[in-house]
């Protein structure tokens, strides 16, 4: 005969195991890709099975009327259209269920948002050139990224709230726009 305590244990153990499996599956690691030519291809990062999010790094110049500049540190030259070949890798990553985002900022570059309209213009540029909008000059080809990451290490923090709100509003146009941010801690000696 099974005691009341054992009955409860027999019920709780499968529930706890289900919870643990669900917890492990819902977690994951994000990685920045694009700043080290020796890191391999974007697709190899996704094929490793280590990541649930891959963040293409970085759009290093934007805002204040500047032409945005994508810097992928030797992987490809956006100015020649060579980064459009990454479209195949991005689609392969997404087919594996990996979210692919574009990171703005980084430790080098020239970026700032100078007004609410500058932030809205930047959001529209990102939508048309990397997300679900349309442009004849998409730096990463016709593929649609899953979202935008902010790694704002330089300049001020003004108007990023407007940028994020505007990008978030594009989710209502069909496909969810994921947003993430990398906290910047004060370096200590």
In a domain, 107, yes or no: yes
Domain-located, residue 84: yes
Residue 173 lies in a domain: yes
Residue 3 lies in a domain: no
- Nearest to residue 113, comparing CAs of 164, 70, 172, 56? 164
Is residue 2 domain-resident?
A: no
Q: What is the pLDDT of residues 166-186, one digit of tens each?
A: 999 999 887 899 999 987 666
> What is the 8-class DSSP label of residue 125?
H
Q: Which of the following is catalytic: 91, 94, 153, 184?
A: 153
Span 37-83, pLDDT tens digits: 899 999 999 999 999 999 999 999 999 999 999 999 989 999 899 99
In the structure encoding, which two tokens stand for residue 11, read together?
Answer: 């019920």
Share of the chain above pLDDT 70, in %: 83
User: Is residue 20 a part of any domain in this protein?
Assistant: no
Contact 166, 110 (CB under 8 A): no
Q: State the total domains in the chain.
A: 1
DSSP helix/strand/coil, 111: strand
CATH number at residue 121: 3.20.20.80
Catalytic site includes residue 96: no
120-132: pLDDT as tens digits: 999 999 999 999 9
Residue 120: its H or E element: helix 116-129
Q: Residue 136: give the domain boundaries.
A: 28-181
Provide the 10 A C-beta neighbour count for residue 70: 22
Query: pTM of the predicted model, to two decimals?
Result: 0.83
| DSSP state, residue 173 | G
**99-106 vs 110-111, strand pairing mode:** unpaired
Tell me whether the omega of the peptide bond preceding residue 58 falls within 30 degrees of 0, making it cis: yes
């Amino acid at each position: 005969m099974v005691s009341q305590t054992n009955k409860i244990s027999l019920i709780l153990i499968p529930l706890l195991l289900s919870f643990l499996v669900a917890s492990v599956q819902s977690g994951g690691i994000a990685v920045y890709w694009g700043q080290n030519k020796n890191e391999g291809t974007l697709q190899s990062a996704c094929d490793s099975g280590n990541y649930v999010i891959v963040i293409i790094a970085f759009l290093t110049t934007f805002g204040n009327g500047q032409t945005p500049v994508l810097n992928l540190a030797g992987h490809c030259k956006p100015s020649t259209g060579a980064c459009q070949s990454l479209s195949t890798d991005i689609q392969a990553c997404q087919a594996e269920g990996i979210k692919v985002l574009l990171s703005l900022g980084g430790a080098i570059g020239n970026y700032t948002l100078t007004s609410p309209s500058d932030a809205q213009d930047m959001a529209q540029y990102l939508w048309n050139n990397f997300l679900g909008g349309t442009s004849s000059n998409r730096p990463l080809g016709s593929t649609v990224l899953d979202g935008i990451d902010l790694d704002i290490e330089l300049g001020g923090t003004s108007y990023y709230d407007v940028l994020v709100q505007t990008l978030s509003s594009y989710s209502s146009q069909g496909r969810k726009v994921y947003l993430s941010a990398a906290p910047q801690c004060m370096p200590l000696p």
